[in-house]
Amino acid sequence: MDGSCPDQVDGLSIRCEQAGSGAVVRVIMAGTLDISGVETLAACADRLCAGPARSVRIDLAGLRALDEPGARNLVVACNCLRLHGCVVTVTGIGRDIEAVLGSLGLDLSAVGHRAGTRTGSSAPPPSPGSAAAVKTS
């Protein structure tokens, strides 16, 4: 992409790949999303919201670790993109990342829930009380 997502900050790598006119963007995250990387992710999401992106695929396969601020910021970034008209798909969620999200009562169910992939249009809603229930408090 045109530099709208930084390459590396404090152990977190975020790379954006743009297709065509920029309406389709793949965001590849690797490393550790902790408190030191939340501003980087937020800035990337803000730039994507302000641009031509209408479909954003967030690939977390390379994400090794996630703390509470990182997890909450990830959910906020996905919701922000959705509110700006983007179809958001999250892929590559490993068991450790899923466990952190679940332990915080967070999940990416607002953008869907399937094994290995989460997308806003193909997943059934979460059952009440499950780890898939989004809590925004």
Q: What is the pLDDT of residue 129?
A: 33
> Across the 137 residues of the chain, what is the mean pLDDT of every consecutive 10-residue run?
60 91 93 94 92 94 94 92 92 90 78 46 33 30
Residue ranges and CATH numbers for the domains of the chain are 8-119 (3.30.750.24)
Q: Which strands, in side-by-side order, build the sheet including 24-33?
A: 8-9, 12-19, 24-33, 55-66, 87-91, 117-119
Q: What is the pLDDT of residue 125?
A: 34
Q: What is the pLDDT of residue 68?
A: 94
d(CA 53, CA 50): 8
Q: What is the pLDDT of residue 119?
A: 45
Q: What is the pLDDT of residue 22?
A: 87
Q: What is the pLDDT of residue 6?
A: 55
